[in-house]
Amino acid sequence: MTDTYTRIVSQGLGKDVARRLGLPQPVELRRHAPGAPLVIGPVLVNGDSLGADDLATALLGWGLDVRRNALPKEKLGAVILVLDAVQHPDDLGKQILTVAASLRDLSPNGRIITVSRTPHSASTPASAAARQGVDGMLRSLAKELRSGATANGVLLAEDIATTAPSALGAVRFFLSGRSAYVDGQFLTVTSASGSMPADVDKPLQGKVAVVTGAARGIGAAIARTLYRDGAKVVVVDIPAAGDHLAAVANQVHGTALQLDITRDDAGARIIEHAVERHGRLDIVVHNAGITRDRLLANMDEGRWQSVIAVNIAAQLRINEVLLASEHFKDAPRIISVASTSGIAGNRGQTNYGASKGGVIGMVRATAPLMESFGGTINAVAPGFIETEMTAKMPFAIREAARRLNSLKQGGLPVDVAEAIAFLATEPAGGINGGVLRVCGQQLVGA
């Protein structure tokens, strides 16, 4: 959907007028395009640990222009703050403040990335405090940035190196235009699993992916993005959406499966279709979902149960079949679409919030079950995304929802798709049981 305000104020006279009147000043975000540079400008890697040295060397291997010390007034594409060896809150200021001046030199759509360790794996209260302090600092910094710049973090388990496949994969994702609408968020690397793809432009080459709810909107964007990245795609939706589903299948040169996912045999039919048509099944994206909004005082059983049935109960049944299938054992990926409504809540969406909160709980509990065969399961939680549904919202409510985040605009379906596509890749093999918000750092709630 078109955000006319962002287009007007992101350039020329409109930008000047918005600044003078104190209005929100969103800019057009740098999104991924095949062949585009990973990041625009030099990358400053700050840190005095061996992990910082190793990460800087790895980035040089990607052909990036890496700095270990900032040059005066040089425009930077990104600043990576490596805090993997911090052991006490007293240590934070010394390192963080050394890059404070460089923030003024950050280019539009620039990137700030922290690399630190998980608080829960700390051996002392002091180190746990320091690590949790990185969380609060990073989320606060993200709300200070302007001109489309974002700040995100990579959290490493205790024995994970800064150059582990998924650590590098997460850094690459956050540097790139694929993460344009991800802000103030963390990806946690729990294992050294995964590998870097032979072709970074086609990281899903040879994989077969299934996307539910793929006839339009976010689901269609997911299918197109997975196809762009090299996957063969099976698109799934209800029979009533058959025409739209066929159009998407044609766009991605894939196959269409008309299926109500609440059927008891949905999991078996998905596996059967993927294996018969494409010979294997590697990735399942649970995107299908519905809303039946009402205040709880006005909620009836039909509205409540229908949302639960589609949004979470169907996923649980399908996952049970996937986990039991011999066709889903070769380092498979499951990615579920949750929602910020399942994290922070939303008025009139008690049923929807319960279903999306349920998705997050399911993902966390299923993660250990995926480990035995090298698989992962993660969730992506969108915030305000420009879709046909949000276009029907009253103007004032829609505008407020667009501006109530650090980037001062709504996201696009492709922003959700990019996050899902990353979590489906081999470099994300060490990320399991996580929830990545794609919301521009909404100021309301979590």
Neighbours of 291 (CB within 10 A): 18
The residue among 392 and 203 whose pLDDT is bigger is 203
Cα 433 → chain centroid? 13
5 is catalytic: no
Residue 14 pLDDT greater than 80, yes or no:
no
pLDDT per residue as tens digits for the range 41-89: 999 999 999 999 999 999 999 999 999 998 888 999 999 999 999 999 9
**Model pTM above 0.85:** yes
Catalytic residue among 5, 181, 227, 352: 352
Name the DSSP letter for residue 385: B
CATH of domain 31-189: 3.40.50.720
Residue 445 pLDDT greater than 50, yes or no:
no
CATH of domain 208-438: 3.40.50.720
Domains of the chain, by residue range, sit at: 1-29, 31-189, 208-438
pLDDT of residue 391: 75
The DSSP code sequence of 145-202 is --TT-EEEEEEE-TT--TTSHHHHHHHHHHHSGGGTT--S-EEEE-SS-----S-TT-
Q: How confident is the model at residue 209 (pLDDT cuts 50, 70, 90)?
A: very high
pLDDT per residue as tens digits for the range 272-315: 999 999 999 999 999 999 989 899 999 899 999 999 999 999 99
pLDDT of residue 24: 72
- Which residues have C-beta within 8 Å of that of residue 272, sequence separation ≥ 6? none
